[in-house]
Amino acid sequence: MSALLRARGLAKRFGPLLALAPLDLELGPGQALAVLGPNGAGKSTLLRLLAGLARPSAGTLEIGPGSASRSRRRRAIGLVGHATFLYPALTTRENLVLTARLYGLDAPAERAQRMLAEEELLAVAERRAGALSRGLAQRAAIARALLHGPQLLLLDEPWTGLDARAAARLSRRLEAEQAAGRALVIVSHDLARVAGLAARALVLVRGRAAWLGPEALGDEKALGDAYAASVNRLEAAA
Amino acid sequence: MTATTPLRTWQHASAVALAVSAALWAFFVWRAPIDAMQGPIQKILYVHVPVVLGAYLGFFLTALGGGLYLWRREERWDRLAAAAAEVGVLFCTLVLVTGPIWAKGTWGRWWTWDLRLTLTLLLYLVYVSYLLLRSFTEGSERAARFAAVYAIAGLAVIPLNYFAIDLAGGRTVHPENLGRGSLGAGMRAPFALGMLTAVAAFAHLLVRRLEVGALRSERDRREAEAFREEA
Amino acid sequence: MNALVAILWKDLLSEWRSRDRVVAMGVFALLVVIVLYLAAPPGSGPEARAHVPGLLWVAWSFAGVLGLNRAFALELENEALSGLALAPVERGFLFLGKALASFVLLLVVQLASALAFALAFDLDLRPVAGRLALVAALGAAGLCTIGTLFSAIAVRTQYREVMLPLLLLPLLVPVLLGAVRATNALLLEGTLPWPALQLLLVTDGVFAIVSFLSFEVVLDE
């Protein structure tokens, strides 16, 4: 089984600040990785590096087979970031159609319609994205990221702003994606939700990483304890 | 330290070349005959013409450094671009200062919108915009990238500007090339040495500025190390 | 190609809904025409009026810069620009889409202000209308290609409003000189000088190529 994602010595520096210390990471199809840590630890930086939005200061990153072109790599990735990437002047539907066209999908209007139905966004399909509530905008952003069926899903705090029902639906969706062979990297503070999804976790504290294995991710309590211990250890090592 | 050692050699070499060249040049300028028509003010041309070389060489190197940076993503090419821009703008300033001084002394006007003057003025504006872009972009990697793109665009526009100003009828006033016999006896040596001195001066200043750039990079690297040790 | 049309459609649709760019550009251009009229009224001598075509290009280029400044402002909300950067499409096509949108808006403003201009100065533009449109379009194309590239750069710097004209104006000289030359000849003599046209075509080509190729690196974070 070939890895979807291979990072070796991946690091990011902003001037004198080392946002991410050199990191090795490998992820195969159907695998999910949780990324945990206090604010400002470098989690979002890692995600942006994996998404190809930012260039690493050091190290290598491969998405898909080694020979994959830039276009194929981008096609393989779906990112749910802190911002929604939605155009406020366009409706939800129009935003999705635009995304479909940017990703070269066939029948963009139908794809958008299907996604709107799946994510229960039909009620706000004709509303301008700028007028969506936070929760709805987040759901639209998730729909946008999933639209082109990416192999690798990168999610930064995806449950933020979602009500219980929408949050549960997202968890189910992510489980389904994982079962379908997609790889997930999820940054989240919501330990309960990631414990159910991921088999491994990466704990980042000020750019430095520690790993947690499946035993820690059995349930929320176990994860909480393991996480706290990890954070203490990383901070003490500083 | 290793980054600066080869630069140090170049620095000493260019300093020597500069000193020798400048001495010879000054000697020949002093000895050069006073131009019959223009009078002593003509001697400022021995400065003006050589610094033009520096001004255009500077921008060429800036664009080259930028292009190489975009291709290779190695910081040292960006350092070249930044250094060449600062040295080049200095030379360009000298062109725009010595030119009008000479013009006032001979044609009686400080400025005309002639082809070469306008072209150099536009180059100066591009230099300034380039340096401002570098200053006002946050993030050294982003600044390097943006500056490189701008420098390449700026270089591409120089020949376009030439034709544009020519089209607008700006060919008139500036004296044509001083080769081919229009140089009187005793004028060839100071001009040639002037060019040599300009190149030596440019090289020397460039090397010193590169050294500053290398030291800054080194400092940043050490700060990052120290930060990581602490963190 | 699909992406180009998608971006073009998005920009024009957004503009249609808010109309803020084209109104600002149009009002600005109109103001300049009015100022020109007051400064060199139709009655004043041929020397004063000879400069007027050039000043029309001042109006058009400043209106163009005004529009270009706003072109990437709409990409900053919700980090939409990052959304574009993620797309698996040749980024040069994203550039073309945005440049074309700005181009269309500028053409609209040029048309409206040309009419105002003809009215104010009592000019009959009909004999030169086609060729004037060509010159206006070529000038607008040069402005919008390199202008879109620099707008994408300027929007991520400090003082972005000032940065765009600062970066743009020294490089617009070939476009402006060519366009002014051609416009002058058209309005005063009724001829279209080939050298000016040639300069515009070459400059537009160079700018389009440089911008298209550079957009890949400009859109990185």
- Say yes or no for a CB contact (<8 Å) between B149 and C214: yes
The Cα of B78 is separated from the nearest Cα of chain A by a number of Å equal to 15
Per the structure block, which two tokens stand in for A80? 């749910």
Q: Which SS3 state, helix, strand or coil, does residue B183 take?
A: coil
Shared domain for A143 and A160, answered yes or no, is no
Eight-class DSSP state of B230: H
What pLDDT, on the 0 to 100 scale, is given for residue B184?
61
Shared domain for A70 and A171, answered yes or no, is yes
Shared domain for A121 and A170, answered yes or no, is no
Instruction: Report the percent of chain C where pLDDT is more than 90.
Output: 67
Instruction: Report the percent of chain C where pLDDT is more than 70.
Output: 96
A71: nearest Cα among A96, A47, A45, A52: A52
For C127, phi then psi, to 5°, come to: -60, -30
Shared domain for A89 and A207, answered yes or no, is no
What pLDDT, on the 0 to 100 scale, is given for residue B180?
39
Judge whether B184 and B35 are in contact, CB under 8 Å: yes
User: Model confidence over B107-122: pLDDT tens digits?
Assistant: 788 887 778 888 999 9
| pLDDT surpassing 70 at residue C44 | no
Expressed as residue numbers, the domain containing A215 is 5-76+150-237
Judge whether C144 and C65 are in contact, CB under 8 Å: no
Q: What is the distance between the alpha carbons of residues C188 and A126, in angstroms, rounded to a whole number?
A: 53
Contacts of C11 in chain A (CB under 8 A): none
Q: How many CB pairs under 8 A join A and B?
A: 26
In order, the DSSP letters of chain C are: -HHHHHHHHHHHHHHHHH-HHHHHHHHHHHHHHHHHHHHS-TTS-HHHHHTHHHHHHHHHHHHHHHHHHHHTHHHHGGGHHHHHHHSSS-HHHHHHHHHHHHHHHHHHHHHHHHHHHHHHTT---GGGHHHHHHHHHHHHHHHHHHHHHHHHHHTTBTTHHHHHHHHHGGGGHHHHHHHHHHHHHHHHHS---HHHHHHHHHHHHHHHHHHHHHHHHHT--
What is the rounded average pLDDT of the residues B187-198? Answer: 81
What pLDDT, on the 0 to 100 scale, is given for residue B4?
56
Comparison of pLDDT for B139 and C108, the residue scoring more: C108
The Cα of C152 is separated from the nearest Cα of chain A by a number of Å equal to 16
Q: What is the distance between the alpha carbons of residues B95 and B50, in angstroms, rounded to a whole number?
A: 9
* Angular region, A59: left φ>0, alpha ψ -120 to 50, beta rest: left
Report the complex ipTM.
0.91
In this complex, which chains have at least 3 CB pairs below 8 Å with chain B? A, C
User: Model confidence over A118-157: pLDDT tens digits?
Assistant: 999 999 999 999 999 999 999 999 999 999 999 999 999 9
The structural domain count of chain A equals: 2
Instruction: Report the percent of chain B where pLDDT is more than 70.
Output: 87
Shared domain for A97 and A214, answered yes or no, is no
Q: How many CB pairs under 8 A join A and C?
A: 84
Shared domain for A227 and A159, answered yes or no, is yes
What is the rounded average pLDDT of the residues C84-113? Answer: 95
Mutate one of A74, A102, A132, A152 to test the C interface: name it (highest C CB count within 10 A).
A102
| pLDDT surpassing 90 at residue B230 | no
Task: Give Cα B207 distance to the centre of its chain.
Answer: 13
Is B26 exposed, middle or buried (CB count within 10 Å of its CB: 0-12, 13-18, 19+)? Answer: middle
What is the rounded average pLDDT for all residues in chain A?
90
What pLDDT, on the 0 to 100 scale, is given for residue C179?
94
In this complex, which chains have at least 3 CB pairs below 8 Å with chain A? B, C
Q: Name, of A165-174, B18-27, B34-43, C123-132, the range with top average pLDDT.
A: A165-174
Nearest to C83 among A75, A85, A104 (CB): A85
Comparison of pLDDT for B103 and C110, the residue scoring more: C110
Domain end marker among A101, A118, A148: A148
What pLDDT, on the 0 to 100 scale, is given for residue B11?
84
- Say yes or no for a CB contact (<8 Å) between B167 and C177: yes
User: Model confidence over B6-31: pLDDT tens digits?
Assistant: 888 888 888 888 888 888 888 777 77
What pLDDT, on the 0 to 100 scale, is given for residue C43?
65
Per the structure block, which two tokens stand in for C39? 């400064």
Shared domain for A228 and A154, answered yes or no, is yes
Q: What is the residue whose two structure tokens read 């053409």?
A: C107
Shared domain for A112 and A41, answered yes or no, is no
Lowest mean pLDDT of A177-181, B24-28, C85-89, name the range.
Answer: B24-28
Q: What is the distance between the alpha carbons of residues A104 and A100, in angstroms, rounded to a whole number?
A: 6
Residues 6+ apart with CB under 8 A from B118: B161, B165, B170
Nearest to A238 among B220, B224, B231 (CB): B231
What pLDDT, on the 0 to 100 scale, is given for residue B99?
86
Nearest to A54 among C6, C80, C221 (CB): C221
What pLDDT, on the 0 to 100 scale, is given for residue B1?
47
Is A131 near chain C, with CB under 8 Å?
no
Instruction: Report the percent of chain B where pLDDT is more than 90.
Output: 36
Comparison of pLDDT for A93 and A14, the residue scoring more: A93
CA angle B123–B127–B128, rounded 5-degree value: 120
Question: Domain of A180: which CATH number?
Answer: 3.40.50.300
3-state secondary structure string, B92-127? HHHHHHHHHHHHHHHCCCCCCCCHHHHHHHHHHHHH
Q: Which residues pair with A5 in a beta bridge?
A: A27, A63
Q: Where are the domains of chain C?
A: 2-218
Q: Where are the domains of chain B?
A: 5-32+39-224
What is the rounded average pLDDT of the residues C160-181? Answer: 92
| pLDDT surpassing 90 at residue A107 | yes
Is A89 near chain C, with CB under 8 Å?
yes
- Say yes or no for a CB contact (<8 Å) between B133 and C173: no
What pLDDT, on the 0 to 100 scale, is given for residue B181?
44
- Say yes or no for a CB contact (<8 Å) between C196 and B125: no
CB half-sphere exposure, A139, CA atoms < 13 A: 27
Shared domain for A106 and A209, answered yes or no, is no
What pLDDT, on the 0 to 100 scale, is given for residue A233?
86
- Say yes or no for a CB contact (<8 Å) between C83 and A72: no
Shared domain for A115 and A216, answered yes or no, is no
Q: Per-residue confidence at C60, pLDDT binned at 50, 70, 90?
A: very high
B189: nearest Cα among B24, B23, B16: B24
What pLDDT, on the 0 to 100 scale, is given for residue C174?
94
Lowest mean pLDDT of B157-166, B185-194, C133-142, name the range.
Answer: B185-194
**Which B residues 55-74 touch C at CB under 8 Å?**
70
| pLDDT surpassing 70 at residue B89 | yes
Q: What is the distance between the alpha carbons of residues B37 and B58, in angstroms, rounded to a whole number?
A: 33
Nearest to C10 among A51, A98, A104 (CB): A98
What pLDDT, on the 0 to 100 scale, is given for residue A238?
63
Which chain C residue has its CA at the smallest distance from B164's CA?
A: C174
Shared domain for A157 and A222, answered yes or no, is yes
- Say yes or no for a CB contact (<8 Å) between A89 and C82: no
Q: Which SS3 state, helix, strand or coil, does residue C179 take?
A: helix
